[in-house]
Amino acid sequence: MTAVIYYICLPVIYLLSLLPFPLLYLFSDFCCFILYRVVGYRKKIVLQNLRNSFPQKNEKEIQQICNEFYSYFCDLFLETFKTLTISKASMLKHCSFTPETVALFRKLEAEGKSVVLVMGHKGNWEWAGNTFSLMCPQQLYVIYHPLRNKYFDGLMYKMRTHFGTKLIAMQDTFRDMVKFRSETNATAFIADQSPRRDNAQWVDFLNQDTPVFTGTERIAKKMGYPVVYVSVHKLKRGYYSVSAEVLIDDPKAMADGEITRIHTVRLEADIIHQPATWLWTHRRWKHKR
């Protein structure tokens, strides 16, 4: 049955990916109306997350962020489909790296340093990965959760590897990083997952007691790779700018928990700066200490 659904959906997905951007965003506006105004998809979760994260904001401000978030959310969904057929020139036009960021990764490559990249579900992280593979000299590996549906998992794999990015299933992370140690590369971790309570570090994040996944820190220490924070900023509809900074030069010299705390604080600052472009539908605070 899943195969039937996949092959019914596939032509529609490719058709959407071929739409010119103005038509794509017109369709996104329609999807937003249905998802937000008619269905109310996870609206209670989004509003509760926003109210808890920004207690200093009044209800009008919360509703405004919520409105902007659903528009961004639908754009993100369709922009991801666009990755199937987008050209290199168009990809670089719509998602660019700052000159300083490109220079940083070239410097790290020249020094023979592999790095751990850490980022959140903010901006268009899918496009950021594709642009990295076009602009930066390192081989990019992205840690991901394979989907249960093998057909749609294959489709996501194709979108994410369109321009040369490679994927590592989460359960194979350390083994594969050791295997690829002979090359200079960058391995990207998404830091705002929702880990189990027994596998988390608890920090104050967006005014809430929050469990944070510690795998990024543990692997950076084992591999001895510098930790680089990647920020994806939305410039305007359909356009993003990516910047990066070295957070930790020598992870082995850091106290336990300090790397996790530092990159969590950095992500929080990004979200506060542009709150509508983070994944508020995520059940980030479903676990309690």
Mind listing the pLDDT tens digit for each residue in 221-236?
Answer: 999 999 999 999 999 9
| Residue 27 to residue 30: CA distance in whole angstroms | 5
Q: Is-contact 246 230, C-beta < 8 A? A: no
Residue 163 lies in a domain: yes
Output the pLDDT for position 147: 87
In three-state secondary structure terms, 115 is: strand
- Amino acid present at 6: Y
Beta-carbon count within 10 A of 64 CB: 15
Distance CA 286, CA 219 (A): 25
CA distance 171 to 148: 14
Q: Does 181 map to a domain?
A: yes
The answer to whether position 289 is within a domain reads no
Residue 285 lies in a domain: no
Domain tally, the chain? 1
Could you state, in chain order, the average pLDDT of each consecutive group of 10 residues for the chain (289 residues)? 86 96 98 97 97 98 98 98 97 98 98 97 97 98 92 93 95 96 96 81 95 94 98 98 98 97 97 98 86
Q: Are 94 and 238 in contact (CB under 8 A)?
A: yes
pLDDT score of 198: 73
Is this structure's pTM higher than 0.75? yes
- Which pair of tokens denotes residue 152? 């749609």
Q: Cβ distance 254 to 228 under 8 Å?
A: no
Give Cα 117 to chain centroid, integer Å: 11
At residue 286, the pLDDT reads 86
Determine the residue type at 233: H
Distance CA 2, CA 237 (A): 34
CA 252 to chain CA centroid, Å, is 26
Yes or no: say if 226 and 116 are a contact pair by the CB < 8 Å rule: yes
The label of the residue with tokens 């105004």 reads 37
Domain residues for the domain of 180 are 2-277
Q: Is residue 286 part of a domain?
A: no
Which residues sit opposite 59 in a β-bridge? none
| Residue 131, in any domain of the structure | yes
Judge residue 146's burial from the number of C-beta atoms within 10 Å of its C-beta, 0-12 exposed, 13-18 middle, 19 or more buried: middle
Q: Decide if 235 is inside a domain.
A: yes
From CA 159, how far away is CA 150, in angstroms rounded?
14
**What digits encode the pLDDT tens for the residues 145-168?**
898 889 999 999 999 999 999 999
Residue 1's pLDDT is 67
Note whether residue 71 is domain-resident.
yes
CA distances from 151 to 5, 40, 85, 143, 148 (A): 10, 28, 18, 19, 9
